[in-house]
Structure 1
Amino acid sequence: MADLYASYTALAAAQTEGVDYERRSVPVTGSRWCSIAIHGGGIEPGTGEVARAVGASLMSHYEFAGIKAANNGDLHVTSTNFDEPTAQALVTGSLRCLSFHGYTGVAGLAETSLGGLDTAMGARVGAALQAAGFRVISAAQEISGSDPANIANKTTISAGVQIEMSNALRASFFPNGDLSRTMRDSGQRTAAFNTYVAAIRSAYAGQARMSCGSINVSRWATVPWAAADTDIVCAMATDALAAGGPHFLHLAARFADTNNCYLARLAFNTDQTITLTLRKRVAGTETLIATAADTSTLTHAAGRFFWLRFQVTGTTLQAKAWQDGTPEPGAWTVTATDTSITQAGQVGPRTILSATNTNTLPVTASFEGFQQISPQTLTVTRSVNGVVKAQSAGADVRLTTPTTLAL
């Protein structure tokens, strides 16, 4: 059935907010993920409740909720036409979006259909749900979320995850399968609801913050990696412009300890330029290997994220950097060879403020989307200094919990 309204703008002109519908938005400071349900309330019952629970204190969340006594389906505006400004602003300012929807599905069959253009994160969500015992399938074309105009895909990476939940699945989230507003508003949830939400929240990956309360002191957050060759990527930012001396943000590879590893380093300089270098630490001595010839297209700003990719293959070291929201460059920005460190080791980010830095402390460095490009399996072991440690054995290695580091 075609939508009654071609846009939120048209809907708002005909319906009364607070009587027919509500808009609910809860920002979470520091998070660049969002969890949304644009067909919440009585439109696709259960979607808003899941979106709120997934986002709670973890990521910003938004719900457009139908609250009419009947005929809430009239308030359905398809994802490609949903132009409500609060939702648009939230998604376009986010790195990743999880968009929750409901569909009829096969009677009695509880399943999740996954779509959206963020296929890597969709696969991660799917794997987490399957591991928790839920049935997951690829979304049919009509609910695939593959249109770039879909609100879920309007993130800074132009991709999101669309999570379609069947009627039977959503009914399983509430006692006696009761999807009524009275039940949903009562706060009662089943074990299936809690397990489902926890599984999706576990896919929230690659988030870490390092609070730099001293100058010239390194902060490290590393995870084991079984192979000597590695290809890692991460988005990084600091919350202030550099004063007196640079902010140094790194990715480390073949990390044996803090005195022995390879580094790709972004220097956020006091004139807002950015310098990319390859470096090594051997027996505690840090040495410059190579400097990128041109990073003039990059300009530092407080809170602005830059992606850094670092590949070590045999004796070849390569790195590239680009601003969040822009395409990854095809070519490596800097390449060099070195034979000093050959053994497998850990991988992960490092932060240090220049000895001449005069910023008001602390300076907070943020890292998002940290992952190993090569397909490997992750087995979580234990948390050390605030970051989940992981042992690789065959999907992406990622920092798997939102973490604040105060080292």
Structure 2
Amino acid sequence: MKSKVLGSTLIIAGTTIGAGMLALPIASAGIGFGTSILLMFGLWALMAYTALLMIELHQYADHSATLHTLAKQILGDKGKYIASFAMLFLFYALCAAYIAGGGGQFADRLEMIFGVSLSPTLATLIFTLIVALTVTIGTHAVDKLNRILFTLKLIAMGSVLFLLAPNVTQGYLTSLPMQQGLIVAAIPVVFTSFGFHGSIPAIVNYLEGDTKALRKAIVIGSSLPLVIYVFWQLVTLGVVQQETLVENSGLSNLITLLSSAVHVEKLATIIGVFADLALITSFLGVSLGLFEYLRDLGGSKASKKSSTNTFSKRAIAALVTFLPPLCFALFYPQGFIMALGYAAIALAILAIFLPTVMIAKIRKVAVNANQGSLKTEQGTVHYQTGGGQVALYGAMLTGLVIVTAQLLVTFGVLPSLG
């Protein structure tokens, strides 16, 4: 596998395997192992399919185009505004969550490893600055750092799986859903754990629109998290009894339960390190996608003739990318939780509704008007995602189910998770 393809694959996988992975056992505790696996396979297939739709869309624009550019080109101003809202809401909510959580974890690790004690505010500022500088340098820098962090994350994950696997109890894995409503309530959480679509435009630009390479990166990059999630669910839901997990929801309780169940003193520390790495790799991917999106909004292409202007544009884009979520995390450390409750809705708009609607329109134009004014960079379509109309409208229907489920949870009709 070529270096850039490998790097892109790991960026996709690293973006997907974030802090949301740690919420999977909590969200699926009440529905059982078997049901959670079925949900994961179904939602992985949905997200891989819509990601491939985005690759099909990118044939109709320059490889540096973002979702904002595509939405404006295909759907007009209304599509552009919807794309802008969904992208900004989702990315800023996630970045605020990652900064708030990452700053505290960064302070803990500095004290644990180096004996350096920092205030939560200073630790958060330093953590954000490190990520901001990496993203501002460019996708290449994110690629290199992400490879190292992703490798360390796999080692930490492998250690956790190795320590927990011998303690799996088969009977715990056969638990059935405690309430049928919990199955629907778990859908948005599982769905969000497969989100990586915001980083696709940056990957398309990095691979210079090479459709074959992009398809490989997406299929492999999204499949890695699925495999890891299956093993993670196996060793967590199989070690702790279903009723105990449901009664002791929350990440800290999960780590405590796993540690006490297997009687391994350092397990809590290893899971903590894994959580750190999962968070920062996801933060890198999400903030990279937001950074490139804001650069596109700012018309950075016009400044390519001047390196000074290019640098200033990147600096401004970095400031707009990181300052709002940083302020939110510093002044409202608990406020982002409410916004994250709606992240699944924004992700559904971004990863399902926009790609399917744009593909439906562009295919219709291509058939009825012999491609009309919509031309690919090569002049003809070289790749079209399979499944036809059935898959397209099936994805739209599933998106409606996800949004409805989240709204029902928000308004208390369905039970909340964790």
TM class by shorter chain equals under 0.3
Structure richer in strand, relative to its length: 1
Q: Which has the larger radius of gyration?
A: 1
Q: Which has the higher contact order (CA 8 A, sep 6+)?
A: 2
TM-score norm. by structure 2 comes to 0.23
TM-score norm. by structure 1 comes to 0.23
